[in-house]
Chain A
Amino acid sequence: MERVRYDGPGHVLHAFGRTLKRGDTEEFSEQEVRQLLAQPAIRVTVEPTRAARPLPGGVMTWVYPEVPAPPSGVGEPEADNGEGHTTSSKEKK
């Protein structure tokens, strides 16, 4: 379902069993919305129904699933162990 606002040019719109005054919004099915948009004599604006939800901090980011670590000993990159120096799967001599 999509929310549709009637923008005129008339004052009242009868569409698919519903009545809207100019400026009113109403929910219509996607097929009904397509039919309304296909009629040039009627001006409507489709309003988004699913608002984007920001993550904490107000920044929109994508969160990817965790990638499993490659087998140890083969081309494993050095990783920071959080204590200020790097470690390696191979012990340094």
Chain B
Amino acid sequence: MATSVLEVIAAPYEVWLAPVGFAFPDVDEIPIGTMGWELLGTSGTKSYDEKGVTVTFNDAKSTFTPAGSTAPRKVWRISEQISVGVDVVDMSAVNIAKALNDGTVTQVAAGSGTPGTDSVPLLQGHDVALFAALIRGISSAGPEFTAQFELPIVYQDGKPAPAFLKGTPAGVAFNLMTLEDDDLGFGQYVIQTADAT
């Protein structure tokens, strides 16, 4: 009997954001608004650019090479940070506001002589908005299971540059960067391996 190579994954992950401090859902729970989690992009992965979601583990190290050798003898990690990059093809006010420092979306209802509008402030200010981030998709233990990156504190470092031209959808760049949580560090990657009994 042929065995499927479950540990190889080629599927898009979706990104969820919540205020810092909100509990992460279990791997077999669907995050919903009542739990404080909002899906990034109106249609989730169907709003993401074909490049999908990229999780990068950045770090910088320093080495010591003594005078008596040409080879380094010691290494230290001096900095580390995780980044989550995704281009969201979604020009709704809610998504643009999320990309611009979680700005306040003001809605005006249509009335007699008044068109309905959604507006987003463009000036972001010096305070940087923080989020909790959940990046989830299929598990390496089986396509019916879920895996998720749980990042307790992130900020948006992407430089949105939507291009408005024919033939190419306008998108908003997100690059979520982690900050250290005093208790959880950078969070964890959780892989579901079995159903609850």
Contact = CB atoms under 8 A, between A and B. Distances in A.
Contacts of B94: 9-10
Interface residues of B, number: 12
A39 B106 contact: no
Interface stretch (A13-21, A46-54, A55-63, A78-86): A13-21
Contacts of B104: 10-12
B75 interface: no
A76 B116 CA distance: 68
A41 B107 CA distance: 9
B98 to A, nearest CB: 11
Interface residues of A, number: 13
A14 B116 contact: no
B165 interface: no
A38 to B, nearest CB: 8
Interface in B24-47: none
Interface of A: 9-16, 35-36, 39, 41-42
Interface of B: 93-94, 104-111, 116, 118
